């Protein structure tokens, strides 16, 4: 993006403290940790969470001298809860707003689950002029929904079930997800952490009801295959082979075939929420990837 174009876009945004207000009035909350001259890493979170879900990775990398930035997706956490625009195109454009407003360059984009879709769509829509590397962690691309030309996905009944449960009692839905498949706590011998369950629930209930409902379609039915083909930067893909939320065959294994020269690391036995359950290993893998 040219300086004149950047200036024009920045003029349409307003930055105040830890918030960026877009020209459509949506406020995006963000965290900016670590030294301002450090190599920049941005983090895009999963559903129905917010930037707090990245705190282990952000604290670790900031202590290593990296500048780490994460925003709450529109409709989630401390950001605005708009009625419209709860889709991947808007999510990607919001990430672009954070990057351009803060004038970030040579950024490593890291996305977890739905956030991996946000990263993929960002590259598909905005290119890699400001991007140095990308990392997809337990990420939803290429696509979660089974279709005629993507038979490896999950049947729509899975996502209709999430929508039904969300409307019936989303508080209970979040507790059920966190206490069961998200962290693998439903597996025999699992060490259950009530703290992780509570954190998931609190973050989910901070998000808007309409926003999280719409986001189910965004993370499940969005086709990221064209976006992944557009990746032209070093890319790390990390996934657990016991991911019950985003099964590895339809996601990481398929994505690694579409992203040029992607590095795939599979965590044996790891669940979807490996940013917490396997945070020490993930932190080291991210650090190694950043240093390459």
173, 162 in Cβ contact below 8 A? yes
> Is 272 one of the annotated active-site residues of the chain?
yes
Q: What is the pLDDT of residues 149-171, one digit of tens each?
A: 999 999 999 999 999 999 999 99
Residue 259's closest CA among 234, 223, 242?
234
Q: Which of 93, 227, 243, 285 is catalytic?
A: 243
Model pTM? 0.94
Q: Which of 44, 51, 53, 113 is catalytic?
A: 113
Domain 3-291 belongs to what topology? Rossmann fold (3.40.50)
> Is 171 one of the annotated active-site residues of the chain?
no
* The two three-digit tokens of residue 247, written as one number: 């099964």
Alpha carbon distance 88, 224 (integer Å) = 10
Only one residue has tokens 């901070």, namely 206
How far from each other are the two terminal CA atoms of the chain, in whole angstroms? Answer: 26
Q: What is the pLDDT of residues 21-42, one digit of tens each?
A: 999 999 999 999 999 999 999 9
Q: How far is C-alpha 102 from the chain's CA centre?
A: 19
Q: What is the pLDDT of residues 224-265, one digit of tens each?
A: 999 999 999 999 999 999 999 999 999 999 999 999 989 999
* The two three-digit tokens of residue 183, written as one number: 């962290």
Q: What is the pLDDT of residues 67-113, one digit of tens each?
A: 999 999 999 999 999 999 999 999 999 999 999 999 999 999 999 99
55, 101 in Cβ contact below 8 A? no
> Is 220 one of the annotated active-site residues of the chain?
no
221, 160 in Cβ contact below 8 A? no
Residue 1 has pLDDT above 50, yes or no: no
57, 46 in Cβ contact below 8 A? no
């Amino acid at each position: 993006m040219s300086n004149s174009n950047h200036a024009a876009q920045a003029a349409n945004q307003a930055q105040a403290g830890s918030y960026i207000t877009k020209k459509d009035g949506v406020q995006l909350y963000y965290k900016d940790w670590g030294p301002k001259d450090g190599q920049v890493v941005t983090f895009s979170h999963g559903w129905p969470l917010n930037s707090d879900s990245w705190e282990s990775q952000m604290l670790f990398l900031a202590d290593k001298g990296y500048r780490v930035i994460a925003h709450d997706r529109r409709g989630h956490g401390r950001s605005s809860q708009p009625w419209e625009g709860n889709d991947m195109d808007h999510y990607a454009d919001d990430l672009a707003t954070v990057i351009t407003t803060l004038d970030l360059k040579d950024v490593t984009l890291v996305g977890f689950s739905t956030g991996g879709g946000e990263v993929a769509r960002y590259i598909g829509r905005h290119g890699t002029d400001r991007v140095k590397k990308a990392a997809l962690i337990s990420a939803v691309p290429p696509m979660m929904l089974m279709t005629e030309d993507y038979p490896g996905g999950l049947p729509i009944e899975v996502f209709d079930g999430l929508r039904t449960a969300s409307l019936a009692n989303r508080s209970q839905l979040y507790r059920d997800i966190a206490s069961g498949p998200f962290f693998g706590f439903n597996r025999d011998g699992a060490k259950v952490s009530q703290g992780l369950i509570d954190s998931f629930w609190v973050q989910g209930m901070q998000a808007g009801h309409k926003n999280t409902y719409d986001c189910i379609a965004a993370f499940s039915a969005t086709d990221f295959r064209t976006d992944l083909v557009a990746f032209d930067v070093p890319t790390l893909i990390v996934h657990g082979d016991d991911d019950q939320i985003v099964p590895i065959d339809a996601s990481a294994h398929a994505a690694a075939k579409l992203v040029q020269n992607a590095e795939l690391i599979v965590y044996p036995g790891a669940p979807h929420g490996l940013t917490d359950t396997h945070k020490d290993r993930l932190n080291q893998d991210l650090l190694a990837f950043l240093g390459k």
